[in-house]
Structures are given as C-alpha cells and as structure tokens.
Amino acid sequence: MSSAPASRDLANAIRALSMDAVQQANSGHPGAPMGMADIAEVLWRGFLKHNPGNPKWPDRDRFVLSNGHGSMLLYSLLHLTGYGVSLEDIKNFRQLGSPTAGHPEYGDAPGIETTTGPLGQGIANAVGMALAEKVLAAQFNREGHQIVDHHTYCFLGDGCMMEGISHEVASLAGTLGLGKLIAFYDDNGISIDGEVEGWFTDDTVERFRAYGWQVIPNVDGHDPEEIRMAVETARKNSEQPTLICCKTIIGFGSPNKQGKEESHGAALGEDEIALTREALGWQHGPFEIPEDIRQAWDACDTGAGQEAEWQARFDAYRAEFPELAVEYQRRMDGKLPTGFDQAAQAFIKACQEKGEKVASRKASQNALDAYGPLLPELLGGSADLAGSNNTLWKGCKAVNAADASGNYVHYGVREFGMTAIMNGVCLHGGLRPYGGTFLVFMEYARNAVRMAALMHQPNILVYTHDSIGLGEDGPTHQPIEQLANLRMTPNMSTWRPCDTVETAVAWKHALQRQDGPTALICSRQGLPCMPRDENVLVQVEKGGYTLLQTGEGTPDALIIATGSEVELAVKAAESLGAAGRNVRVVSMPSVDAFLSQSADYQESVLPAAVRARVAVEAAISDYWYRFVGLDGKVVGMTGFGASAPAGDLYKHFGITAEAVTEAVESLL
C-alpha cells in the first residue's frame, strides 16, 4: 500500500502549475506562488472550511489573496481542490476570455472571493469580511446555535504592507477585535525593484502589535509543522486578529532565480524550469499532476461533509428560531423585505406633500430614518464625519469589540480603508453597507470606489458638501472634478438630488440596486422642495425629467440642471417665461439612470430639434457638453474654488440665475 504524498510534494504541485502557466503565457508572477505554496498547502488541506461543490454556502471560510499578482497560487488551489477551474483554464492563463485572468477577478471563476491586484485592498476586503462575520454572528447566533462561525484568511506581501491602506484597515481591525481574521505575511524581502531593505525597513511585528493584533513572528514558511502550529495558535485567539509572519524564499525551488527579483514578475524560462523540476524532485511533464497528488488535494467530499454538518445545525436553528432563520436567509440572498417598494413610494409622496426646505444631506438622513427601520441589514458608517454627512439615523447602534450586534461603524479618518472594507462587507453577504465622507475626499478612496464598480458590488457611497456651496472651507474642500469622475466610471450610478423628493428616490434606487455601487451626492446648504404634480413625481426615478416648462409644445430652449443649481435654473426659466420665452427646465439627478431609459423617453425630455441648450452645475463644466453640444453653453466651474461664504462664491464664479438667463438669451 503506497504512502500518502508528503506535504512538500503536494506544495510542489502548486509550484509546477504556476511556473508552467506563467511560462506558457510568457507573462505573470511565478515567485509568490512558489514561495507561498507550503503555507497554502497547510491552510487549504488542514484548516480551510470550504466546499468546491457549492462555493457560495454561507458559513464557508473566506480566503483572500491580497498579493493578487500571485494569482496562479489561487488558480492552482481552485483547480487541485475541485472547483470549476479546469486544466485548460490553467493552460489559458492570462488569455482573452479565460477565467484565469492576470489577477483574480471576482465572478470570473468559482472560489474567487474578491478581485485583487491593487495592493493592500485585499487585506482591506478581508477586514470587511471578518467584520461582517462578527456582526452577523452577534445578530443571529443564539446560545447553543452557532450558525455564523467562520474565519477569514488572507495572504499578503511586502507591497500590501507598504500601501497606506494596510495601516488604515489593520488599525481598525485591531480596535474592533476581529479575532477570526488571520493574515499570513509573505516576508520574502523582494519586490519588483529588488531587495526591499533599501526602501522598507519597518518593524512589522511591533507595528501590528501596536494595532492590537496577535503577532506570530519568524515562522519558517517552508516548514509545514511550524505553519500548522502558527495557525492553531491563531485560531485559539478569538479576541484579536492574528498576523503570522512567514519567512519565505520567493521562487522557491528555482536554482538560479529563487530569492531574487528575477522570479517576481516574469517567466522563469524553459531551461530554468527544467532545473527547478530537478531540484524539487518533480519528475512530471508540464501541467501534469500525478493521480495520488490529485486525490490528496481533492476537497469535494470533505467540503460536502462540512456543509452538510452546517446545514444540520441550521435546520436545528430554524426549528427553534424560525423567524430568525427566514431573516438570515433573506439577507444572505440579498433580497429586500416584502413591501419595501410600497413603503418607499409612500415616503417619496410624503416628501412631496411636506415640501420641506432642507439640505440634501439632511434629506438623506430623513430617508435613512424612513427606510432604516425596514432594513436591519444596513451597516452604516462615516469617515469621522457622521455629524456632517448625516449618516447617523435614529435607529443606529455602534459596532465595537465588545458588542458587534449594532448597525453603525465609526471608521475614523480612513476614507480609503472604509470604502475597501465596505467592499468586503458586500462580498461577504448579509449586510448592506453605506459610508459617508465629503465628496472631495472621495479622491482618497478612489481606487476602492472603482473596485466596487468593477466587482458589481452594491455599496452605497454618501458624499456630502458637494460643491463650492460648502463655502468657507475653501478650495481644498470644494469638489470640482469629482462628479464627472464618478459619472464616467463604468457601472457606477451617481445621483445628485435637488430636494427631499429626489433624495428619497435616490436612496430607494441605491437600496434596490444589486449589480453595482451608487454614489449619493448631497449638499451642505438648504434646498427648496420643487413643486411637482403626480405625473411629474413618477418621472423622477428615470434620472432626468421635465420639471417645468414656461409654454406649450416644443420649447425654444432647454436648461439642464442638477442638485442645488436646479433652483437657479427654475428662477432663470421663470424670468425667461415672463419675457415670452418657452423654456423647459430638465432636472437630471442621475445621468446614468436617464441614459438607461428608452431613446423615445430621452427624446421626449431633450428633443433633438431644440438646439438652444444650457447646462448649469457648480462643478467642472466640460462634462455637460455631451448634452448641450459644442454650440450650447455651460454655466459652471472651469477652475478651483475659493474661501468665502457660499452666496459670495456663486456670484464670484458666475453661477447665478442671471447668468443662466443670459446664456439662454444669447442662444436664442
């Protein structure tokens, strides 16, 4: 009877697949997969709770490869353990249409928990997943019934450690006591430019201890027993996240390139691969995995058993707590509660009837007060600006290390970290995160915002102080180009409402959206509620609609406006109407929602025959020429703002009703 394959032989299967795939593609990063293969073998075969037959079962452990350039490590693991990643997929690494992209892409292949590549964001996503696990466990687990009970594991390297976001999220993870987060630091001393000691000399161990993490230093990343003992120690600590510092050799096994930057981001070469096979004792051809190795890696039966055991526990939970079980399943399925749409429509109608003049940031809070009690899955937060962003609503309860059953996270001044953590919360499932900051500080979070759109995650991004209208804080705080940036991001839905009604509609849209993020852009200054009859009210959700017209039939001119500038457009139209002009005001709170409407609807709002067009928005002007044409005019910003009261700034920069009136008259 043959003995079971040794740990090193099993790890060598990862090394072989990784170097073969990178060589065939003549593109990729073999070094990290070869260096971390021993760690991956111990974790995936000895600890990771997962089921290749059902990659989405709720209580699986999450695994995040934050150093996503080492993607062949993950693809090898998915292939060997039985996920739907075939040998052909491995052979087609980095090729068009293949699920084995250059970096792991969420949704491309089963078992990929998040898109990684922008360094540092994977560990941030992992923090979000661990946060979601802790919150859901506190909300749903009952004595004797642990239905939410899993770990989040993350691999990360020197690049992730150097990125500032790792500081933001690690600090918060320690503060929140995310004890089921276990990170493995691939301490190989090499990055693309060479030996990192020339530019990275941090005391990583003491840094993470200062964050409140348990740190296990100096683990030999090529000794399975040391790795195993470290993981066992990490799992025993439920009060602190754990960092396991693993000393590894990048490109392990390559006689001439291991431990060097040459193995980091390029194929080893046929000759070196032959030498590596010999050095590793791997006497098999390219992409060839012996049957005994395959059988030892296969996790299908074990995973099915783990899920069945959880299902039995969940059935017992459902028998004792049927309402909680139904709610848990609804939330994990990402479904809104029955009756939400009707309740939202009633609130929108009530906003119109009340006709209140408030800042749209306050209108946003009012919407949360209305929708929040219906949605226990909401997990709010703000980057230290709750009182300014108005993200706290009446039912908020803070999440902390001792009690995670709440629904609000105080993220501190961590815009980037907050947004990437929210991505992780979304990816985990069961919670709907929203987070706030000033619109101009979206720039700190920009790449995480992009990742939410790329991964089709329904984050809700609350951005307030949306224009020069914030006043005295000056140009450092006054957003100019950010609105255009968000609107031009694929799969991002952006709403800049003009009053309480449009804000309520925007929140309804954001909560109902499941396939991407929504940015809600809110004002600091008070905005009047615009008059609308019922026919106009139902058009708001289309993103652009005729708010008023001063005459009948085809108008002489169109004025397109958003947010606080809708009031200016209405005043200008009234002045023009008094002078006999037939002018239409189009409120366009969401360009993307408007452009998703039928061509007939768009034509009915913006008739092509009307060439006299003016757009007004206290943001960068260039964006609006797509709607007014080169012959039209835009009343907006062409440079940065200034420090002064809001009213003075609007006059100084020529964003006034009079300026809109003059622009229209000049075109007629």
Residues annotated as catalytic (active site), given as ranges = 415
- Whether residue 118 is annotated as binding a ligand: the answer is yes
- Whether residue 410 is annotated as binding a ligand: the answer is no
- Whether residue 509 is annotated as binding a ligand: the answer is no
> Which of 502, 372, 518, 392 lies closest to 449, judged by CA?
518
d(CA 196, CA 27): 23
Tell me the CA distances in angstroms from 404 to 127, 130, 134, 245, 603, one per residue in order.
14, 11, 6, 28, 50
d(CA 135, CA 423): 15
- Whether residue 264 is annotated as binding a ligand: the answer is yes
Instruction: Please identify which residue in the block is written with the tokens 């009756």.
Output: 339
d(CA 519, CA 515): 13
d(CA 653, CA 666): 19
Q: What is the largest CA-CA distance in the chain?
A: 99
Would you state the structure tokens that stand for residue 307, as one six-digit string? 């899920």
- Whether residue 159 is annotated as binding a ligand: the answer is yes
Give the count of alpha carbons within 13 A of 651, CB side only.
Answer: 5
Tell me the CA distances in angstroms from 329 to 307, 322, 333, 367, 589, one per residue in order.
15, 11, 6, 26, 34
355 Rama sector, left if φ>0, alpha if ψ -120 to 50, beta otherwise: left
- Angle at CA of residue 414, ends 473 and 61, nearest 5°: 155
Tell me the CA distances in angstroms from 105 to 113, 115, 118, 347, 508, one per residue in order.
9, 4, 12, 39, 29
125: part of which helix (H) or strand (E)?
A: helix 121-140
Give the count of alpha carbons within 13 A of 595, CB side only.
Answer: 13
Q: How is residue 523 annotated by DSSP? A: -
Overall residue count recorded for the chain in this entry: 668
- Whether residue 652 is annotated as binding a ligand: the answer is no
- Whether residue 69 is annotated as binding a ligand: the answer is yes
Say if CB 146 and CB 120 are below 8 A apart: no
Please state, as a whole number, how many other Cβ atoms lie within 10 Å of the Cβ of residue 287.
14
- Whether residue 79 is annotated as binding a ligand: the answer is no
- Whether residue 190 is annotated as binding a ligand: the answer is yes
d(CA 250, CA 176): 33
Q: How is residue 489 annotated by DSSP? A: S
- Whether residue 524 is annotated as binding a ligand: the answer is yes
- Whether residue 103 is annotated as binding a ligand: the answer is no
Three-class SS state of 251: coil
- Whether residue 255 is annotated as binding a ligand: the answer is no
- Whether residue 318 is annotated as binding a ligand: the answer is no
d(CA 568, CA 573): 9
- Whether residue 388 is annotated as binding a ligand: the answer is yes
d(CA 588, CA 466): 16
365 Rama sector, left if φ>0, alpha if ψ -120 to 50, beta otherwise: alpha
Give the count of alpha carbons within 13 A of 260, CB side only.
Answer: 11
d(CA 371, CA 622): 36
| Three-class SS of 172-204 | HHHHCCCCCEEEEEEECCEECCEEHHHCCCCCH
- Whether residue 622 is annotated as binding a ligand: the answer is no
Say if CB 569 and CB 557 are below 8 A apart: no
Tell me the CA distances in angstroms from 25 to 21, 31, 70, 94, 235, one per residue in order.
6, 15, 14, 7, 38
- Whether residue 441 is annotated as binding a ligand: the answer is yes
Q: What are the binding residues for thiamine diphosphate?
A: 69, 117-119, 159, 188, 264, 441
Q: What are the binding residues for substrate?
A: 29, 264, 361, 388, 465, 473, 477, 524
Q: What are the binding residues?
A: 29, 69, 117-119, 158-159, 188, 190, 264, 361, 388, 441, 465, 473, 477, 524
Q: What are the binding residues for Mg(2+)?
A: 158, 188, 190
